[in-house]
């Protein structure tokens, strides 16, 4: 399938193209504003699908809206008619099409061209009134509040919030790309006369900003956001894409003594905490038990033994562990336990506990195994 993409250097197209490049039998024909219109006429001769993603939302003057959103659409459709090509056309419109402003007027004018083109030629036409789209590679400080907030907060630049209570309707770029590919396959999501992208997220501007600031703080707090919430998960992925390239890494606080180190890696409000424990040869750590707190130990390097003893028993249970054979050892409640390095190298253990450490209620009681 030969797919003509207008606006091929734009935000949507960049994400779409890298996905389409992984699909066999898809030939991408890009067209952007720097190309000559004669090229467009050549491209429409034998393309099998048109993804009309080109558009203007920040022109130099008001007339630029119609030039970019109406005139180009008209040229494209006339070219298809001239070449007798009735292939499907997908048009990236906007929810602003129902708003009485120059941008909205230019978008609805383009929609009418498409609808009339369908009636005249019988060609399949898909019109998507996209709400605000967010995700990686969106240009900040242009026309996307999410991109601007992510970029500026990641770079420690100031932001301006006009109205924190303003309700935003947003779709994630990956969902947009998925829906466009569905359209290419003839399985688009159609509602009435228009097509829609599923999974529209409704949230206030202030809530978006609060989330992004929490992402920034998460490094210091060693926390991760609530990935069970779809919008939070997508916004966090977006935020990370705006990190300065010299700030991908960040330090952790290592608790160091003669025995080795203990370092907290991640904390979550509902899925516990992950830490990394390093013990020197011959060192034993632990010798304590818990009422409700439970753990999982995973030795990833070195050799060790994990010992357990039930509180009212004298029987010691041993699990010999090694980085040569990765296995998870559960630490049940009511058993005092320890871990000893029996090798000649550092013993490195990834430790998960079901709750973050609470100094006021540690639920940890010393007792030799």
| Catalytic sites, residue numbers | 103
H/E stretch holding 333 reads: none
Compute the distance between CA of residue 111 and CA of residue 209 in angstroms, rounded to an integer: 33
C-alpha count within 13 angstroms, C-beta hemisphere, residue 329: 25
Burial 213-230 (b: 16+ CB within 10 A, else e): ebbeebeeebbbbbeeee
**CA distances (Å), 69 to each of 72, 93, 120, in order?**
6, 9, 21
C-alpha count within 13 angstroms, C-beta hemisphere, residue 368: 1
Compute the distance between CA of residue 253 and CA of residue 290 in angstroms, rounded to an integer: 25
Residues 6+ apart with CB under 8 A from 211: 225, 232, 235, 236
Long-range contact pairs involving 82-85 (C-beta distance under 8 Å, separation at least 24):
82/41, 82/44, 83/41, 83/44, 83/45, 85/44, 85/45, 85/46, 85/47
Residue with tokens 């630029």: 64
Residue with tokens 């009435």: 192
Picking from 220, 341, 344, 210, the residue whose alpha carbon sits closest to that of residue 285 is 341
266 and 222 in contact (C-beta within 8 Å)? yes
């Amino acid at each position: 399938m030969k797919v003509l993409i207008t606006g091929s250097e734009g935000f949507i197209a960049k994400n779409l193209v890298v996905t389409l490049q992984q699909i066999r039998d898809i030939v991408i024909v890009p067209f952007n504003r720097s190309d000559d219109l004669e090229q467009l006429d050549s491209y429409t001769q034998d393309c099998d699908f048109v993804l009309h993603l080109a558009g203007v939302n920040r022109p130099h003057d008001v007339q630029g809206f119609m030039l970019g959103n109406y005139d180009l659409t008209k040229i494209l459709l006339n070219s298809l008619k001239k070449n007798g090509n009735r292939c499907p056309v997908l048009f990236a419109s906007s929810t602003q099409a129902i708003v009485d402003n120059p941008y909205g007027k230019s978008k609805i004018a383009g929609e009418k061209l498409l609808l009339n083109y369908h009636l005249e030629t019988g060609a399949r036409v898909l019109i998507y009134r996209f709400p605000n789209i967010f995700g990686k590679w969106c240009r900040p400080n242009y026309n996307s509040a999410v991109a601007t907030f992510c970029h500026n907060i990641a770079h420690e630049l100031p932001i301006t919030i006009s109205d924190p209570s303003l309700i935003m309707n947003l779709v994630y770029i990956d969902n947009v790309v998925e829906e466009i590919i569905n359209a290419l396959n003839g399985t688009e999501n159609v509602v009435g006369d228009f097509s829609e992208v599923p999974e529209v997220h409704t949230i206030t501007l202030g809530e978006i900003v609060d989330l992004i600031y929490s992402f920034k703080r998460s490094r210091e707090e060693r926390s991760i956001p609530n990935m069970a919430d779809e919008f939070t998960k997508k916004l966090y992925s977006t935020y990370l894409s705006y990190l300065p390239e010299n700030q991908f890494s960040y330090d952790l606080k290592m608790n160091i003594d003669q025995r080795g180190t203990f370092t907290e890696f991640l904390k979550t409000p509902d899925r516990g905490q992950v830490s990394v424990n390093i013990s020197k040869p011959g060192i034993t750590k632990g010798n304590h038990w818990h009422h409700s707190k439970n753990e999982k130990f995973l030795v990833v390097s070195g050799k060790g033994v994990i010992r357990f003893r039930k509180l009212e028993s004298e029987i010691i249970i041993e699990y010999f562990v090694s980085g040569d054979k990765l296995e998870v050892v559960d630490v049940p409640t009511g058993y005092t336990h320890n871990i000893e390095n029996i090798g000649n190298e550092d013993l490195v253990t990834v430790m998960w506990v079901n709750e973050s450490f609470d100094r006021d209620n540690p639920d940890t009681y010393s007792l030799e195994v």
